[in-house]
Amino acid sequence: MLNIQGIHKSFGSLQVINNLSFEVKEGEFVAIIGPSGSGKSTLFQLIGGISTLDGGAILLDEEDIQLKRGTIGYMPQQPCLLPWRTILENVTIVEELQQQPHIEQAQAWLEKVGLAQFENAYPNALSGGMQQRVSFIRAIVSDKPILCLDEPFSALDEFTRLEMQAWLLSIWEQHRKSILFVTHNIEEALFLADRILVLTKRPATIKEEMIVPFERPRSEGIRHSAKFYALKQQLFNYLKEEKDDAYVD
Ligand SMILES: Nc1ncnc2c1ncn2[C@@H]1O[C@H](COP(=O)(O)OP(=O)(O)OP(=O)(O)O)[C@@H](O)[C@H]1O
């Protein structure tokens, strides 16, 4: 479905991505982890068509989507809800920009995730976790073939973060949209993903790929299993090898 083929990106003399290739299959949940500054957000900007490639190609269903906007659903680190629009109006904004808002579908989603009574409220009436749910629903309702989630839970407190991970899984396991998920949190990647890609330090390329062996639907219990601890340690060691002493710019 999403096929990243040998892409390169530099900002002036700073080489950020070097010959990076991977794919995300239909219905797959892929997490990306890597050192700070290794180019994860840059990668999303390239996939989202708001930054130009220096080389390589990005294909979605075999179509080149370089510099093509609006082909992916995107959920940023902050919910980015417009404070002057109601929750329902925030959820439908992407489709509204494309002149085809599906109000009933948006309402059905808000109902499904227990936010129906807030559809006419404004974002400031909602907690951080609730705002992130709205942000995710907005990405789903935009009805794109793949969702790119850029550290969506990193600004939340630990308890809410764990709650949101379980919530995201319960929604995703029903619908299985392809997801590409960037996180700094090893445990989060292990709990959520089918496959984890570990990036090298900058310039980023794939250092390791881990197939996550836990069956679905996943329960909280796997976090306490010996296997989970062992894989967590393995990922930690990969990241440690890439630790930042190479960034001397
Ligand atoms: N528009 C830009 N112009 C110049 N340099 C940039 C630009 N965008 C990003 N960079 C640089 O590219 C490198 C990678 O940045 P990016 O934000 O993609 O990393 P990241 O892996 O997402 O970092 P973090 O994990 O800390 O969020 C950084 O050194 C950053 O300063």
ipTM of the complex: 0.95
Q: So where are the chain's domains?
A: 1-72+148-153+178-249
pLDDT value at 235 more than 90: yes
**How distant is the alpha carbon of residue 147 from its chain centre?**
7
Per-residue pLDDT at 245: 55
- Mean pLDDT confidence for 28-51: 91
For the domain 1-72+148-153+178-249, what is the CATH code? 3.40.50.300
Nearest 5°: CA angle at 139, between 134 and 140?
A: 95
Per-residue pLDDT at 12: 94
pLDDT value at 109 more than 90: no
Choosing from 8, 10, 41, 239 the residue with most ligand 1 atoms within 8 A of its CB, the one to mutate for a pocket test is 41
pTM listed for this prediction: 0.89
The per-residue pLDDT for range 20-35, each reduced to its tens digit, is 999 999 999 999 999 9
Per-residue pLDDT at 248: 46
User: Where is pLDDT greater, at 227 or 168?
Assistant: 227
- Mean pLDDT confidence for 74-78: 80
Question: How many whole angstroms from 88 Cα to the centroid of ligand 1?
Answer: 33
Q: Which of 44-53, 91-100, 134-143, 238-247 has the highest mean pLDDT?
A: 44-53
Choosing from 38, 51, 151 the residue with most ligand 1 atoms within 8 A of its CB, the one to mutate for a pocket test is 38
Question: How many whole angstroms from 16 Cα to the centroid of ligand 1?
Answer: 7
The per-residue pLDDT for range 117-127, each reduced to its tens digit, is 999 999 999 98
Question: How many whole angstroms from 101 Cα to the centroid of ligand 1?
Answer: 34
